[in-house]
Chains A and B, each alone.
Chain A
């Protein structure tokens, strides 16, 4: 079974620029998550999708972050404009629907803001 695919692996941009990350979940996984992992901390949920609908975006900084999952499969996360504090690894995860289904993580995109 192919895992969660993310691209790019690394991205370096200057503050106030925009950036986008892409995620392809495991086939058949209806639930998709985006996490932010700052160096030395645990992942923090940014947004959760069930198919193409948003389940939880309470911790997404909506003034600069946006995410979509138009066809209920692939997803993109965008930051515009980026701030220095956005430097982090952005992880995508997916799971089957249902209680206690394990989340499977991709290897993330490491974002550095100069």
Chain B
């Protein structure tokens, strides 16, 4: 119940395309859903986050879509750029505890 399942494990997208990463959860106590971006040799950095009372949140080229009834949420990266190549983690928070997905390694081909 504490798991967050993330897919795909890896993703290759052409420059300018849309990258989509999906996550699913079971625990209805989760009330905050951040996405983190991690470059090799660096710690995860907060990218964008959403609360379950909102169905969509957009910040620049990054959008979170949230489906509370299906217990799923996704990250969309529009106009993907080579600099977006990184590992992306979804996460979910219950109380003060953050549970991370397994990660998606995104590669943007120029």
Contacts and interface: CB of A to CB of B under 8 A. Distances in A.
Given A43-B44, A91-B43, A108-B43, A103 B102 contact: no
B contact face: mostly helix, strand, loop, or mixed: strand
Interface residues of A, number: 23
Contacts of B42: 107
B46 A48 contact: no
Chain B contact patch, size range: 20 to 34
Contacts of A56: 96-97
B32 interface: yes
A71 B110 CA distance: 49
B102 A41 contact: yes
Interface in B43-99: 43-46, 49, 51, 89, 91, 93, 96-99
30 contacts: A31-B96, A40-B103, A41-B102, A42-B6, A42-B89, A42-B100, A42-B101, A42-B102, A43-B44, A43-B89, A44-B100, A45-B97, A45-B98, A56-B97, A93-B43, A99-B32, A100-B31, A100-B51, A102-B34, A102-B46, A102-B49, A103-B46, A103-B98, A105-B43, A105-B44, A106-B43, A107-B41, A107-B42, A107-B43, A108-B43
A60 to B, nearest CB: 13
Interface in A91-114: 91, 93, 99-100, 102-108
Interface of A: 4, 31, 33, 40-45, 48, 55-56, 91, 93, 99-100, 102-108
A4 B45 CA distance: 12
Nearest to A56: B97
Given A40-B103, A41-B102, A41-B103, A105 B51 contact: no
Which among A4, A93, A99, A103 has the highest number of chain B CB atoms within 10 Å? A103
